[in-house]
Amino acid sequence: ETGVTQTPRHLVMGMTNKKSLKCEQHLGHNAMYWYKQSAKKPLELMFVYNFKEQTENNSVPSRFSPECPNSSHLFLHLHTLQPEDSALYLCASSQDWNPGTDGYTFGSGTRLTVV
């Protein structure tokens, strides 16, 4: 078990559903991230939070809505998704918002399938 826990591990949802992904880190890190991983594509950075404040939003469609109530928890709220949104969604954390030297600690991901 890593220090970053993601739930659920698998999620199947219809295009009209609303669901949320949860991420929790037990490492005392101050920065948390959402990444999208699609087959044979580079990891796509979606959102960055530093001390609960969003510092980066990589032109993500509004059907993805992040929430960071505290430095340990990160949510990704999903609504009216498209089939092309099916992917592995990874949460990561780092000591501070510049993970340049420490790198990331990743969770195991949520495998999302939109039908």
Sites of contact with other proteins (CB under 8 A): 2, 4, 6, 40-43, 45, 48, 56, 90, 92, 97-101, 103-109, 111
CA-CA distance, 34 to 61, in Å (whole number)?
A: 14
Query: Which candidate, 62, 37, 63, 59, places its Cα nearest to that of 48?
Result: 59
Write down the least CB distance from residue 70 to other proteins, Å: 21
Q: Name the residue nearer to other proteins (CB basis): 41 or 70.
A: 41
Write down the least CB distance from residue 15 to other proteins, Å: 25
CA-CA distance, 36 to 47, in Å (whole number)?
A: 10
